[in-house]
Amino acid sequence: MGVVVSLEDRKSGSASLKPLLTLVAGDMERVNRTILSRAGSDVAMIPEIANHLIDSGGKRLRPMLTLASAGMFGFEGEHHVTLAAAVEFMHTATLLHDDVVDESDLRRGKPAARLIWGNQASVLVGDFLLGQAFRMMVDVGSLDCLQVLSDAAAVIAEGEVMQLAAAKNTATTEDEYLAVIKAKTAALFAAACEVGAIVADQDGSVRAALRSFGTNLGLAFQLVDDVLDYGGSAKDLGKEIGDDFREGKITLPIVLAYRRGTGESRAFFDRTLMQGEIRDGDLDTALAHLHGTEALADTVQRARHYGAVARDALAPLPDSAEKRALLEAVDFCIERVT
Amino acid sequence: MGVVVSLEDRKSGSASLKPLLTLVAGDMERVNRTILSRAGSDVAMIPEIANHLIDSGGKRLRPMLTLASAGMFGFEGEHHVTLAAAVEFMHTATLLHDDVVDESDLRRGKPAARLIWGNQASVLVGDFLLGQAFRMMVDVGSLDCLQVLSDAAAVIAEGEVMQLAAAKNTATTEDEYLAVIKAKTAALFAAACEVGAIVADQDGSVRAALRSFGTNLGLAFQLVDDVLDYGGSAKDLGKEIGDDFREGKITLPIVLAYRRGTGESRAFFDRTLMQGEIRDGDLDTALAHLHGTEALADTVQRARHYGAVARDALAPLPDSAEKRALLEAVDFCIERVT
């Protein structure tokens, strides 16, 4: 019954997610129970699909952020658990809809829900989970939390549409790409942190600090994900790579490689990503361009920048085990790649 | 700029939607302005798609229910306008997702958004509108309203999944079909009415009365829609019919015709609706079975039943122009078909 939190194995760095996991372990058990009970429905397809995703071994980073943000101020009770579960439901709903939009076949190494149950069910179960998330927020009864999370829901969807509109445009600027991931990834990280501060009854400056921490951690996290999809900055082989390339996704490594590239490399990215005409060996060519322009290494540098901003956002807050664990989580997120 | 409320022309009956339209006309102007402003986004595709649907001449019955329910108690202010717009956004989001799920080509006689902008954009803009709807509810600041509408959001999605799971099952019972439309259609009618009572600060019995009114009006409305899709109970020709048949949708007319039918007619519906094998002339055969078993006329009778329940739900409330207009709207919804 327990939902396993799968930790990626430690790589070269020294930072670990373990302190965070240990601190929130008890509350995460409660979050997992809440998730399982709130994903229930007499309509059998709903728990089937929800559990397929929920059991699939995501890191559950977002709910952990809510728990740690509340725990930092000694909050005890139920509300942070309910909100953490609501945040995870919002994330799960987004994943279900994303897979439909991206026509993805795999999610966390398992067949995407849409392949098993169809696009239709994925859209509708996503809607159900979003509705349940709002119900859970209403149970908590904090209008401030509702505002933060409903803002996030609208902004996330806006970011997804922005990305769709910009899709396959190799001329995307770094700023444009940042605006997309700020909306589609960082907004939920920010909200997850901020609602932790809200339930713990913290004032506006603390809320702002945690919000800023979440935003910048989210940006760093997404940029590192972008690099990992190309095998990491150091040609870290042995995991499946190139999904973004095959789906024609414009991520920061591509943005940088394209802007820094030659006429020849631009023609290559236009053909493969804009026209979607991918031939054997093209992924290797793409990797050569990405490494040749230092695009992957510099995307990691950008991630380090946002990680540093995240750390400074927390600086004014009093020392606590949770604060130290969150700071280490920033490093962990970045060191995944190095 | 103005959004036209298209009234279906009067048919044989004597009831009219005009009293309701006249009473809420001023507030509906404000609802339309709110809708246009809240569907705005810097991401151009969002207002394009939203306005495509919003301008397409729906009756806006749901927001009118909210306005009239609040107006019945002399409520003045802004909150009922904001909630009415939020209700319409929830409805619009559902339409966008429904068209993707049903693979529909037309919506209110215009090409479905998914045909113009694609399924992907339809899913994501639906998500955006739902997020905006929750933002607007948060602006109103009533946790009771948020509870009613978030319950509705989850229940609607649950009903859609239920329908998907039951799709193409000709053995569906009337009770099972009722459970589906209670969730996917009546829940939003009920919520639209109830939040009107809530903002007007009415007690639990008034809330329950309006909720019951909305539920039963919604059921009657959907059943009449089901009949209209087969041209009405009196072979009312001249409008495009048979969409539900072509999409293999099991609606109450089919449920009744199947249960009352012969082995031959059941084999016919199994082939056309379950196996989806539709040949020339099959719609005419279906109509012959539907008329031969009185399935259409009796579906209208069922609608009359729910209309009567809706009227009695309002009976204890004091007389007012709004109450009378709502009662007449029930008759209008049913007389559309006769």
Q: Is B90 on the interface with A (CB under 8 A)?
A: no
In a domain? residue A267: yes
**Assigned token pair, B85:** 């717009």
Supply A332's token pair: 């962990």
Residues of A in contact with B160 (CB under 8 A): 124, 127
* Residue partners of A28: CB distance under 8 A and separation at least 6: A5, A21, A60, A63, A64, A67, A84
Residue at A125 is within a domain:
yes
Over the range A181-191, which residues count as b (16 or more CB within 10 Å of their CB) and which as e? bbbbbbbbbbb
Please give the Cα distance from B89 to B82 (Å, whole number). 11
Cβ contacts of B132 on chain A, cutoff 8 Å: 154
Closest to B268 measured CA to CA, from B303, B293, B243:
B293
Is B154 part of the contact surface with chain A (CB cutoff 8 Å)?
A: yes
CB–CB contact A161 B97 (8 Å): no
- Which of B124, B143, B164 is opposite residue A101, by nearest beta carbon? B124
Q: What's the pTM value of the predicted model, to 2 decimals?
A: 0.88
Contacts of B86 in chain A (CB under 8 A): none
Query: With contacts defined as CB-CB under 8 Å, which chain B residues touch A128?
Result: 154, 157-158, 161
Residue numbers of the domain that contains A224: 18-313+326-335
Q: Which residue from B minimizes the CA distance to A103?
A: B120
Report the residue from B124, B146, B155 with minimal CB separation from A157. B124
Count how many pairs of residues, chain A against chain B, have C-beta atoms within 8 Å. Answer: 134
Q: Look up tokens 């397809």; give the residue.
A: A45
B8: in domain: no
Closest of A273, A126, A281, A104 to residue B96, by C-alpha: A126
Instruction: Say whether B20 sits in a helix, a strand or coil.
Output: helix
Of A123, A131, A153, which is closest to B154 when you measure between CB atoms? A131
Touching check for A147 and chain B: CB below 8 Å? Answer: yes
How many percent of chain B have pLDDT more than 70?
93
The tens digit of pLDDT for each residue in B153-184 reads 999 999 999 888 877 899 999 999 999 999 99
| Segment (H or E) for B107 | strand B106-107
Count of C-beta atoms within a 10 Å radius of residue A279: 9
- Scanning every residue of chain B, which has its alpha carbon at the shortest distance from the alpha carbon of A135? B150
In a domain, A321, yes or no: no
Q: Which residues contact B181 (CB under 8 A, 6 or more apart)?
A: B159, B218, B219, B222, B223
Tell the residue number behind the tokens 């519906």, with chain if given. Answer: B269
CB contact under 8 A, B123 and A100: yes
Number of other CB atoms surrounding residue B174 within 10 Å: 13
Residue ranges for chain A with pLDDT beneath 50: 1-11, 236-238
pLDDT tens digit string along B82-140? 999 999 999 999 999 988 888 877 776 778 888 788 888 899 999 999 999 999 999 99
Q: Which residues of B touch A119 (CB under 8 A)?
A: 100-101, 119
Q: Which of A131, A150, A156 sits opposite B138 (nearest CB)?
A: A150
pLDDT of B28-53, one tens digit each? 999 999 999 999 888 888 888 888 87
* B87 neighbors B149 (Cβ within 8 angstroms): yes
- Phi, psi dihedral angles at A111 (to 5 degrees): -60, 135
Q: Is B123 on the interface with A (CB under 8 A)?
A: yes
Cβ distance A6 to A319 under 8 Å? no
**SS3 for B114?**
helix
Q: How many domains, in total, are found in chain B?
A: 1
* pLDDT of res. A13: 63
Return the pLDDT at B10: 41
Contact A143 B141 (CB under 8 A): yes
HEC letters along chain A: CCCCCCCCCCCCCCCCCHHHHHHHHHHHHHHHHHHHHHCCCCCCHHHHHHHHHHCCCCCCHHHHHHHHHHHCCCCCCCHHHHHHHHHHHHHHHHHHHHHHHHCCCEECCEECHHHHHCHHHHHHHHHHHHHHHHHHHHHHCCHHHHHHHHHHHHHHHHHHHHHHHHCCCCCCCHHHHHHHHHHHHHHHHHHHHHHHHHHCCCCHHHHHHHHHHHHHHHHHHHHHHHHHCCCCCCCCCCCCCCHHHHCCCCCHHHHHHHHHCCHHHHHHHHHHHHCCCCCCCHHHHHHHHHHHCCHHHHHHHHHHHHHHHHHHHHCCCCCCHHHHHHHHHHHHHHHCCC
List of chain A residues whose C-beta atoms are within 8 Å of the C-beta of residue B100: 119-120, 123
Which residue type sits at A240? E
Q: Would you call B153 and A131 a contact, using CB atoms and an 8 Å cutoff? A: yes
Whether B143 is covered by a domain: the verdict is: yes
Task: Judge whether A308 lies within some domain.
Answer: yes
pLDDT higher than 80, residue B2? no
Which residue type does B48 have? E
Whether B187 has its CB under 8 Å from any CB of chain A: the answer is no
Give the whole-angstrom CA distance, residue B174 versus residue A150: 37
Q: What is the pLDDT of residue A105?
A: 78
**Do B187 and B160 touch, CB atoms closer than 8 A?**
no
Look at residue A51 in the predicted model and tell me its pLDDT. Answer: 83
> By the CB < 8 Å criterion, does A150 face chain B?
yes
Q: At a CB cut-off of 8 Å and minimum separation 6, what does A170 contact?
A: A250, A254, A258, A266, A269, A270, A273, A274
What CATH number should be reported for the domain holding residue A213?
Answer: 1.10.600.10
A154, B128: Cβ pair inside 8 Å?
yes
Tell whether A127 lies on the interface with B, counting CB pairs under 8 A: yes
B325 neighbors B317 (Cβ within 8 angstroms):
no
User: Please, how many CA atoms are within 13 Å of residue B51, restricted to the half-sphere of its CB?
Assistant: 15
Q: Which residues pair with B111 in a beta bridge?
A: B106
Show the tokens assigned to A281: 């060996």
Nearest to B132 among A44, A127, A154 (CB): A154
Within a domain: residue A237? yes
> Could you give the 3-state DSSP secondary structure of residue B12?
coil
**What is the C-alpha separation between A71 and A321, in angstroms, rounded?**
9
List pLDDT tens digits, range B308-334. Answer: 999 999 999 999 999 999 999 999 999
Alpha helix (H) ranges present in chain B?
18-38, 45-54, 61-71, 79-102, 113-140, 143-166, 174-181, 187-199, 204-228, 243-246, 252-260, 263-269, 282-292, 295-314, 321-335
The token duo for B54 is 């919003």
Chain A: residue whose CA lies nearest to B120: A101
Q: What are the structure tokens assigned to A210, written together? A: 């945690």
Residue B9 counted as domain residue: no
